[in-house]
A and B are shown apart, each in its own frame.
Chain A
């Protein structure tokens, strides 16, 4: 009998709040982003699941109302480990500024992440979005989003929910996971209360995350592939 040799493909999209209020903790969040994909891969490898394709992309977000089109800094997917340096450079280049007062455009960033160019490769896939923010989310308002984002932002929270729950959508119905490191409040609590395949750590961008909870999160992504 010939070895099956299943091929695993893992895509991760990081949504990182880069508003001024994140200044004290942004370096730690960047460190966590660089560590996160590594931990998922290690977890898979320890279970003899060979990751053939691992890609990450980053969406830095601020507040459309305050920052206009500069509210979004997004990268394409980086293939790791080949494009590790470019990934690190992109993350390193994110600087905390703007945003005005809370809330921020976190849901808009999440919508962009859901619509990512997810891989169709591999026999089994895991598609993960991780959000780090210290603020509640601005209500969705496509009309208020500047070009070129107005066409890419759902008109309201229900439309965003449809985007996530759509079984024929860009993300696989069973392979997607959403990890929220975000405070309780509008947007984020609605998501963790209603959406499937979500793990929410109510916090200021992951502050106070215990090792036990971090391990649980990694297992929830990697062990179920």
Chain B
């Protein structure tokens, strides 16, 4: 597998790819650079988000002070990527459940060893909130089911609330992972309720690595993203609109990446990392085959909300104007009423 450019040699191979890692504070982003590797019959797409709330402990490293969250996502990325390169062979169907067990073991070993190296500062804190080297993971290993066929297997591994999505020309975005959060899985509800996670990778607590296998048919887009990409849009439909509208506005893959990164940067309040791999078409092909879906999402889901937003804003403006008029009228009428009301208060008080 290679990182970066692919070879468009057949109808169903990975041909379009990009990734970005957007840090709120330059050099201190707690998301790792996303995983993006592919060959003619394989693909690996992953995102990892070091958890700043749980992993705020600062460690001294040769590169300077780093939070546990910063270190965790990068260690986990390196461990997972290396292990998958070793396990993933085009000629062999990946044993997903066994791979999940193996990745779990590798993550425990890797993070435990790194924590020992870090010589963690002593802490007096007691809390279920604070973890050593906590991170999320959403990883998809793509494997063509048969040579030269459009059928693919997606092996999905995850822990925490980073997500993997498949985007298909007819049906749009579908979430492949299920968020490990306490309040349940409704994606719209989760946008407003920052529910604590109930399962995350870390060096000092038990965790599980979830696994799911999904059958796919090319062409499709595979996306892995940290919550900074999808957790700050208004709705899951807006996330799809972000992906597809920027595709329609782009002239090539690089300008699509710039567009997605720009729009995520506008809305996000967090570090944001995303990797995208397109299988089964080139950039022009994807742009054309997603045109109808992009238009449908805009007309059916985005426009009605935008229009209502406009009405709400107009009503709020009108309400504010009415309140101002009411207050002005109140003072004007009081001014007319007041002289008679206070007539006897102007009579000099007598001393008793």
Could you list which residues of chain A lie within 8 angstroms of chain B, going by C-beta atoms?
1, 3-4, 6, 46-49, 123-124, 172-175, 177, 192-193, 196-203, 208-210, 212-213, 215-225
> Does A215 lie within 8 Å of B54, measured CB to CB?
no
> Does A219 lie within 8 Å of B196, measured CB to CB?
no
- Residues of A within 8 Å of B69, CB to CB, are 223
Could you give 19 example pairs across A and B, Cβ below 8 Å?
A3-B267, A46-B24, A172-B193, A174-B183, A197-B196, A200-B126, A200-B127, A213-B123, A215-B56, A219-B52, A219-B53, A219-B56, A220-B53, A220-B129, A220-B130, A223-B52, A223-B69, A224-B196, A225-B194
Q: Closest B residue to A218 by CB, please name it.
A: B56
Q: Complex formed: what's the CA distance from A189 to B60 in Å?
A: 31
B317 at the interface (CB under 8 A from A): no
Q: Closest B residue to A123 by CB, please name it.
A: B192
- Residues of B within 8 Å of A222, CB to CB, are 53
Interface residues of B in 139-196 (CB under 8 A from A): 182-183, 192-196
A150 CB to nearest chain B CB (Å): 32
Which 3 residue pairs are nearest across A and B when measured between Cβ atoms? Answer: A219-B56, A224-B53, A223-B52
Residue with the greatest number of chain B CB neighbours at <10 A, chosen from A198, A216, A220, A223: A216
Interface residues of B in 117-137 (CB under 8 A from A): 121-130
B269 at the interface (CB under 8 A from A): yes
Total of A-B residue pairs, C-beta within 8 Å: 114
A152 CB to nearest chain B CB (Å): 27
The one of A6, A208, A217, A221 in contact with B232, judged by C-beta atoms closer than 8 angstroms, is: A6
Q: Complex formed: what's the CA distance from A224 to B228 in Å?
A: 12
Q: Complex formed: what's the CA distance from A49 to B232 in Å?
A: 11
Interface residues of B in 220-248 (CB under 8 A from A): 232-234, 241-242, 245
The one of A172, A203, A220 in contact with B124, judged by C-beta atoms closer than 8 angstroms, is: A203
B295 at the interface (CB under 8 A from A): no
Q: Closest A residue to B238 by CB, please name it.
A: A1
Q: A3-B267, A174-B193, A225-B194 are in contact. Are A217 and B125 (CB under 8 A)?
A: yes
- Residues of B within 8 Å of A123, CB to CB, are 192
Q: A4-B234, A203-B124, A213-B125 are in contact. Are A196 and B196 (CB under 8 A)?
A: yes
Q: Closest A residue to B120 by CB, please name it.
A: A212
Q: Closest B residue to A167 by CB, please name it.
A: B183
Interface residues of B in 27-64 (CB under 8 A from A): 51-58
A156 CB to nearest chain B CB (Å): 23
The one of B52, B194, B263 in contact with A124, judged by C-beta atoms closer than 8 angstroms, is: B194
Q: Closest A residue to B68 by CB, please name it.
A: A216
B15 at the interface (CB under 8 A from A): no
Q: A215-B58, A216-B56, A224-B194 are in contact. Are A200 and B232 (CB under 8 A)?
A: no
Q: Closest A residue to B129 by CB, please name it.
A: A220
> Does B25 lie within 8 Å of A220, measured CB to CB?
no
> Does B194 lie within 8 Å of A1, measured CB to CB?
no
Q: Complex formed: what's the CA distance from A24 to B202 in Å?
A: 40
> Does B121 lie within 8 Å of A212, measured CB to CB?
yes
> Does A192 lie within 8 Å of B124, measured CB to CB?
no
The one of B53, B124, B196, B266 in contact with A223, judged by C-beta atoms closer than 8 angstroms, is: B53
Q: Complex formed: what's the CA distance from A90 to B160 in Å?
A: 42
A49 CB to nearest chain B CB (Å): 5
User: A46-B25, A193-B126 provided; 16 other pairs, C-beta below 8 A?
Assistant: A4-B233, A47-B269, A123-B192, A174-B196, A199-B125, A200-B125, A200-B127, A208-B124, A209-B124, A210-B121, A212-B121, A215-B57, A216-B56, A216-B125, A219-B67, A225-B194
Q: Complex formed: what's the CA distance from A222 to B53 in Å?
A: 7
> Does A192 lie within 8 Å of B127, measured CB to CB?
yes
Interface residues of B in 3-34 (CB under 8 A from A): 24-25
> Does A174 lie within 8 Å of B127, measured CB to CB?
no
Q: Complex formed: what's the CA distance from A46 to B130 in Å?
A: 21
Q: Complex formed: what's the CA distance from A199 to B67 in Å?
A: 18
> Does A199 lie within 8 Å of B58, measured CB to CB?
no
B337 CB to nearest chain A CB (Å): 33
> Does B196 lie within 8 Å of A6, measured CB to CB?
no
Q: Complex formed: what's the CA distance from A201 to B233 in Å?
A: 36
Q: Complex formed: what's the CA distance from A172 to B241 in Å?
A: 30
Q: Closest A residue to B191 by CB, please name it.
A: A123
- Residues of B within 8 Å of A210, CB to CB, are 121-124
> Does A224 lie within 8 Å of B52, measured CB to CB?
yes
Q: Complex formed: what's the CA distance from A139 to B194 in Å?
A: 33
B282 at the interface (CB under 8 A from A): no
A14 CB to nearest chain B CB (Å): 19
- Residues of A within 8 Å of B57, CB to CB, are 212, 215-216
Q: Complex formed: what's the CA distance from A3 to B242 in Å?
A: 12
- Residues of A within 8 Å of B233, CB to CB, are 4
